């Protein structure tokens, strides 16, 4: 009788236990797979600015198109590799943010400039094969690599040219990010053609752009600067402005500027190009020329980070 009882338990209960354990294990596997790294296995969804259509492009092909759009092909290979890893980290972060949206990134400077193969063939013509092979080597040698901070993908912002220093993120974008802090970038001045620049407006044109009352000579006072010398706030004829408003409205290269008024004109003398947070691309070029490798470049500009591989 006891044998029959235990046999019935084996027939009825044991399968239930096995199924339950299997389901728990399956759930464990599913939970483990729901991770940001899995994002890299799907295509990047790119909203094309010109057509308003969404293209689905494999991750590494997207990175190649960003390399072509964001950094001159003439740059040193180690600088291009640093850009590839930064661009990959940036898009993985956007894919993480935008999982429930229709697209991950836009193909313009609003996110990262992306140029497809058809565009590059037309733009590079006889140099296409040489150039594309250079970029493919860069992609192959950094495939799957991204920047990590404290167990998460880093938001690897970058820009063209520093004023000799990068900026603390909170001084430009209001949010303090521990790996986007000000570091020296002394290489830019020697290698960037836009380290120093100027842009001149007629005072009447300047007033119209900023929608202010015009005078023959404007009363301009800089009221706040960052530690690196970038203008944060100023007043023009008693009206308060954020320097970012002038940067976007006047299309000047940088918020590190001095102003000269003369003969009915107003001239902005700028230093650097871009918002100043994260990796300076021309700084990366200068570092590469001095023999730094791409990982050293990335860890210089993104403080306290590591390079991981998918």
Full DSSP string of 87-151: HHHHHHHHHHHTTTSS-SEESSTTS-----HHHHHHHHGGGHHHHHHHHHHHHHHHTTEEEEETT
Q: 131 with 57, same domain?
A: yes
Q: 303 with 253, same domain?
A: no
106 domain residue, yes or no: yes
> What's the order of all strands across the beta sheet hosting 265-271?
196-202, 265-271, 257-262
Indicate whether 36 pLDDT > 80: no
Q: 297 with 222, same domain?
A: no
Q: 87 with 66, same domain?
A: yes
Indicate whether 8 pLDDT > 60: no
- Which pTM was predicted? 0.85
165 domain residue, yes or no: no
Based on its alpha-carbon atoms, the radius of gyration of the chain, rounded to whole angstroms, reads: 26
What's the burial of 43, exposed, middle or buried (CB within 10 Å: 0-12/13-18/19+)? middle
Indicate whether 251 pLDDT > 50: yes
Please provide the average confidence, as pLDDT, over all residues in the chain.
Answer: 89
Indicate whether 258 pLDDT > 70: yes
Q: What's the pLDDT tens digit per position in 162-209?
A: 999 999 999 999 899 999 999 999 999 999 999 999 999 999 999 999
User: Can you name the residues that pair with 172 across neighbouring β-strands?
Assistant: none
- Residue 84's SS3 state is helix
Number of domains in the chain: 2
Beta strands 158-159; 279-280: pairing state: parallel
Domain hosting 227: range is: 196-271
Q: What's the pLDDT tens digit per position in 204-245?
A: 999 999 999 998 899 999 999 999 999 999 999 999 999 999
191 domain residue, yes or no: no
Q: 97 with 234, same domain?
A: no
pLDDT at 61: 96
Q: 83 with 112, same domain?
A: yes
Q: 112 with 248, same domain?
A: no
Q: 253 with 289, same domain?
A: no
Indicate whether 6 pLDDT > 60: no
């Amino acid at each position: 009788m006891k044998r029959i009882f235990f046999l019935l338990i084996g027939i009825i209960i044991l399968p239930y236990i096995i199924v339950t354990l299997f389901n728990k294990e399956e759930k464990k596997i599913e939970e483990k797979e729901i991770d940001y790294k899995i994002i890299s296995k799907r295509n990047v969804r790119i909203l094309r600015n010109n057509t308003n259509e969404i293209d689905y492009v494999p991750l590494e092909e997207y990175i190649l198109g960003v390399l072509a759009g964001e950094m001159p092909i003439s740059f040193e290979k180690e600088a291009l590799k640093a850009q590839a890893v930064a661009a990959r980290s940036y898009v993985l972060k956007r894919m993480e943010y935008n999982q429930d949206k229709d697209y991950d990134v836009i193909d313009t400077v609003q996110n990262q400039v992306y140029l497809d193969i058809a565009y590059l063939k037309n733009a590079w013509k006889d140099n296409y094969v040489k150039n594309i092979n250079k970029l493919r080597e860069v992609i192959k040698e950094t495939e799957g690599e991204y920047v990590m901070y404290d167990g998460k993908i880093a938001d690897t912002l970058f820009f063209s040219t520093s004023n000799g220093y990068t900026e603390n993120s909170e001084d430009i974008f209001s949010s303090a990010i521990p790996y986007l802090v000000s570091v020296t970038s002394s290489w830019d001045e020697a290698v960037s053609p836009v380290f120093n620049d100027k842009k001149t407006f007629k005072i009447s044109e300047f007033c119209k752009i900023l929608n202010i009352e015009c005078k023959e000579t404007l009363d301009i006072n800089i009221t706040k600067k960052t530690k690196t010398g970038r203008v944060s706030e100023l007043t023009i004829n008693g009206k308060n402005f954020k320097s970012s408003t002038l940067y976007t409205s006047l299309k000047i290269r940088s918020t590190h500027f001095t102003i000269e008024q003369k003969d009915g004109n107003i001239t902005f003398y700028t230093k650097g190009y871009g918002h100043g947070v994260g990796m300076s691309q021309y700084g990366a070029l200068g570092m590469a020329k001095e023999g730094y490798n791409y990982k050293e470049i990335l860890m210089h500009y993104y403080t306290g980070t590591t390079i991981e591989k998918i």
